[in-house]
Structure 1
Amino acid sequence: MTQTESKPGIGRKLPLIAIAVVAAVGFFTLRDHLTFDTLRDNREALLALRDAHYIATVAVFMLAYVGIVAFSLPGATIATLTGGFLFATFPGALFNISAATLGAVLIFLAARWGLGERLAARMETGEGVVKRIKDGIDENQWSMLFLIRLVPAVPFFVANLVPALVGVPLLRFAVSTFVGIIPGAVVYTSVGAGLGEVFARGETPDLGIIFEPQILLPILGLCALAALPILLKAVRGKKGL
């Protein structure tokens, strides 16, 4: 391969490399700052800024949230709580979901541009197990995309990268992300909306609330609903043998 041919390949990977570098630097420099304590200590200044410049506060907040997600920086949960604290459950949840989706789309595009198209093409032209895995994902894309968003145990950055590496269309990724993160985002935004009382009591918010039965069971129900098409195809496939 000549030097001219190698340059485009390196150039396509630059956004992904930049994300990896910023994520690594951010992990060590921001993890002690994007915390609940920081939000608590600056709550009065944030509320005053919101009251004086509401639209600008919304814009800056969403840009910051997009950056956190796009660069896989620590603090996404704190950002979600902040959205609820500043803007209430609604429209706070809408701001959180929109910003998280946009950030996810950016990292998805960087991964697909740098690695995904090439890898997906190789899987498509491959044989044996690799081809069957790719075909299985393609046949159940909507269900799989909703599942990885709804299951609380799947890390958000994993759910952003994997679809890019298997050739999921952008629109399908964006729609499934926006819809799939609604349950969890609404729960944490509502927790953030109640932070005023938590601050007054000198307590820390219960982020494990999503695992409470009254919250977790409906989410698991949605997971089962998303998985139903996969199960039905599997059953029909066995009957056809």
Structure 2
Amino acid sequence: MGQRRSSDLVRRLPILLILAVAAAGALLLRDRLSFEALAQHREALLSFRDAHYGLAVAGFVATYVAVVTFSLPGGLICTLTGGFLFGLFPGVFYNVAGASAGAVLLFLAARAGFGARFAERIAAQGGAAARLQAALRESEWSVLFLMRLVPVVPFFVANLLPAFLNVPLHRFAISTVLGIVPGALVYTSVGTGLGEVLARGEAPDLGVIFTPPVLLPLLGLAALSALPIVVRLWRKGW
């Protein structure tokens, strides 16, 4: 019994550490990862990028990975900074790499700590929750892409829910990388003009993703992702 408890603690330690850092970060880093902080340090960041490009890329991606893994405030700031420092291309690749790697690390920690056993308990208990779990598994690809494409789903929620349902790693990773590309393109593009906006003492228009030219294509992609679910329900006579 003692050995089993020790094994459970070791397995849950990563996600417990992540939760602790996330709680501390929400209190301590709220003002440090902000537009004001970026405006204050933009010249230093640009100078460091020009002098040490490789280190700037590595440091940026590592920071983005940490922000996503520990669910720290500032994910959007990181995406904008990627465009600000590195342009649309290759900035969008650095943004997608950092966000995807952080999401995978959080997913793995959550699944190892709670996800697998949580999913097993739902299946064993039966009832409505088990039926919902089974329905989701029938359409995992569609559901995973929908969570990434629909802007109303918080990023950290889209990382944790699949872990609790014990989604296979390859499905989570592929849907994450491909599913965040459209949003990353939009906000990286906004970041490319961030220098002028910050120089004027203004904040960028983050509502751009909800404008028709951007939102409608995203909803179109979401509709394509949902199509297999609709077809499956239609065949079942729902």
Number of the residue aligned with 2:33: 34
**Residue 173 of structure 1 aligns to which amino acid in structure 2?**
F
Q: What is the CA-CA distance between 1:201 and the residue it aligns to?
A: 2.9
Q: 1:127: how far off?
A: 2.0
Shift of 1:11: 1.6
Q: Match of 1:97? A: 96
- For residues 139 and 76 of structure 1, the distance between their equivalents in structure 2, rounded to whole angstroms, comes to 31
Query: 1:190 Cα shift?
Result: 0.5
What is the letter of the counterpart of residue 67 of structure 1? A
What is the CA deviation profile of residues 139-184 of structure 1, one whole-angstrom value per residue up to 9, with x for unaligned ones? 0000000000011110111000000011110011000000001111
Counterpart of 2:64, as a letter, is: Y
CA displacement at 1:12 relative to structure 2: 1.1
Q: In the alignment, which residue of structure 2 is the partner of 1:13?
A: 12
Asked if residue 79 in structure 1 is aligned to residue 78 in structure 2, the reply is: yes
- Asked whether the equivalents of residues 39 and 199 of structure 2 are also in contact (C-alpha less than 8 Å), the reply is no
Structure 1 gap ranges (5+): none
Aligned amino acid, residue 199 of structure 1: L
Residue by residue, what CA displacement relative to the aligned partner does 1:46-86 show, whole Å, maximum 9, x if unpaired? 11100110011000000000000000000000001100000
1:16 Cα deviation after fit? 0.8
Structure 1 distance, partners of 2:161, 2:124, is: 19
Name the residue aligned to 1:121.
120
Distance 1:40 1:199 in 2: 6
Return the alpha-carbon distance in structure 2 between the equivalents of residues 9 and 202 of structure 1: 50
2:179 equivalent to 1:180: yes
Q: TM-score, normalised by structure 1?
A: 0.96
Separation in structure 2 between the aligned mates of residue 70 and residue 42 of structure 1, nearest angstrom: 24
The runs of at least 4 aligned residues of structure 1 exceeding 4 Å deviation read none
TM-score (norm 2): 0.97
- How many pairs were matched up? 238
- Determine the C-alpha separation between the residues in 1 that align with 2:3 and 2:127: 34
**SS in structure 2 of the partner of residue 168 of structure 1:** coil
Secondary structure of the residue that 2:152 maps to in structure 1? coil
The residue type paired with residue 175 of structure 1 is I
Q: Distance in 1 between matches of 2:104 and 2:210?
A: 27
Q: Describe the superposition over 1:207-233 as per-residue Cα deviations: whole angstroms up to 9, x where unpaired.
A: 111111111111011111111110010
Q: Amino acid of the residue matched to residue 186 of structure 1?
A: L
Identity %: 56
Match of 1:59 in 2: 58
Post-superposition offset of 1:135: 0.9
* Corresponding residue for residue 168 of structure 1: 167
Aligned counterpart, 2:150: 151
Q: Distance in 1 between matches of 2:86 and 2:158?
A: 27
Secondary structure, in 3 states, of the residue corresponding to 1:42? helix
Q: Distance in 2 between matches of 1:235 and 1:40?
A: 52
